[in-house]
Amino acid sequence: MTAATDSWAAQIRQGDVRAISRALTAIENGDVLARPLLQQLFSATGRAWKIGMTGAAGTGKSTLANCLAARYRALQKSVGIIAVDPSSPFTGGAILGDRIRMQDHATDGGVFIRSMASRGAWGGLAQSAADAALLLDAAGKEIILLETVGVGQDEVEVVRVADCTLVVVTPGAGDEVQSLKAGLMEIANIFVLNKSDYPEADALEQQLQSVLQLAPARDGRNPQIVRTVATEKKGVDQLVQAVEEFRVSRSTAGKLSREVAYWKHWLLRTAQQRVVDDLLIGEEKTLQRAAETIAVRTKDPYVAADELFESIHIPRKVNPQ
């Protein structure tokens, strides 16, 4: 550890906004100081209650995050928001929109807000979001909202770090429930039926309930459905209440085993990331040559892979032939 991260870590633990901001930038940029800093802060983590929030574009997640943050502030809780957009700069509009909408809290020292965007197809965003959550946890934020746009694998990864995951659905977005990805159904602890003043809301709730009845109950309980109209701040108290009930049900049994399962997952993702980093950065030429020999059919891909991985010490797959 360096003296630089020592005092930096101390400032973060005191909740210093500039120190936290600098640390989040370091995490996002893969700065070399991010790791020793997080190592130093790690023992101070594990106290925040992390709420994940995901759903398709246009379901009103940001407005809802705003409402939740305001409600928790009214309950004297300190709040951090991490808004993650796994899509590329091509659709950068959403993030900008979020940044603007979230300015409501910008002058309130109790709410720390940060947007993070994707950097490339080879991921790392879910890891960065997880690191950002650790950082806000160490900084003493009691409630951390992780908000992400979309319903794919990337988004599921982002909210995996959460203690409680809200999946936001709205009526009138086509065959909403049918197209809900199975992965999302499995991570939802609470369904938020936002825009519930729309005429099709009742039908959607019924649909959702019948899908949930088919799903195996986890921990003996099926996800609650909470109806909200975020633009009018309706249903927000009920949502906070549902989150609280969920928190109480989770506070005793299985907490450690859930933590262990999360870190197993984290270790696997980290292993994948390291291997890719090593191939793309450290061994780019070797990788290029291997791909060329396959493309011209000089070698088959399996032999080329074995030779390549041998050279960077990835375990060679046992070939029983």
User: According to CB under 8 A, which residues from 148 to 187 bind its own copies?
Assistant: 150-154, 172-176, 178-179, 181-183, 185-186
User: Of 197-205, 225-233, 238-246, 263-271, which part binds its own copies (CB under 8 A)?
Assistant: 263-271
| Collapsed DSSP state (helix, strand, coil) of residue 28 | helix
User: Of 40-48, 63-71, 194-202, 236-244, which part binds its own copies (CB under 8 A)?
Assistant: 40-48
User: Among residue numbers 290 through 309, which ones bind its own copies (CB under 8 A)?
Assistant: 290-292, 294-297, 300-305, 308-309
Residue 110 or 262 having the CB closest to its own copies:
262
Whole-angstrom distance between the N-terminal and C-terminal Cα of the chain?
48
Helix, strand, coil fractions of the chain, as percent rounded to 5: 55, 15, 30
Report residue 174 as tokens: 């086509």
Q: How far is CA 166 from CA 87, 191, 308, in A?
A: 20, 6, 42
Report residue 152 as tokens: 């794919």
- Cβ contact 147:81 at 8 Å: yes
- Cβ contact 114:132 at 8 Å: yes
User: Among residue numbers 203 through 242, which ones bind its own copies (CB under 8 A)?
Assistant: 214-215
Residue from 18, 43, 120, 213 touching its own copies (CB under 8 A): that is 43
**Contact flags string 60-89 toward its own copies, x per CB under 8 A:** ---------------------------xx-
Minimum CB separation from its own copies for residue 259, in Å? 4
User: Among residue numbers 119 through 138, which ones bind its own copies (CB under 8 A)?
Assistant: 121-122
- Cβ contact 135:104 at 8 Å: no
# residues near its own copies by CB under 8 A:
85
